[in-house]
Amino acid sequence: MSLPLIHHPGYTIDLPASHPFPMAKFRELKKQLDKEIAGQEARWLIPDTVSESDLRRVHTRDYLQTFLNGKLDHADQRRSGFRWSEELVERTRLEVGGTLLTIEAALEYGLACNTAGGTHHAHADAASGYCLLNDLAVAAAYALAKRWARRILIVDLDVHQGDGTALIFRDDKRVFTFSMHGADNFPARKQQSDLDIPLPRGTGDDDYLATLAAHLPKLLERVMPDLVIFDAGVDVHADDRLGHLSLSDGGLARRDAYVIRLCRKADIPIAAVIGGGYDRDLVALANRHAQLHRAAHQYWLAQR
Provide long-range contacts, Cβ within 8 A and 24+ apart, for 301-304. Answer: 301/41, 303/264, 304/41
Q: Which domains does the chain have, with CATH numbers?
A: 3-302 (3.40.800.20)
Question: For residue 264, which phi and psi values (nearest 5 degrees)?
Answer: -70, -30
pLDDT in 10s for each residue of the chain, 304 residues: 799 999 877 665 565 656 666 678 899 999 999 999 988 899 999 999 999 999 999 999 999 999 999 887 878 777 777 788 888 899 999 999 999 999 999 999 999 999 999 999 999 999 999 999 999 999 999 999 999 999 999 999 999 999 999 999 999 999 999 999 999 999 999 999 999 999 999 999 999 999 999 999 999 999 999 999 999 999 999 999 999 999 999 999 999 999 999 999 999 999 999 999 999 899 999 999 999 999 999 999 999 7
What CA–CA distance (Å, rounded) separates 16 from 145? 39
Question: For residue 41, which phi and psi values (nearest 5 degrees)?
Answer: 60, 30
Q: How far is CA 187 from CA 151, 182, 214, in A?
A: 27, 10, 25
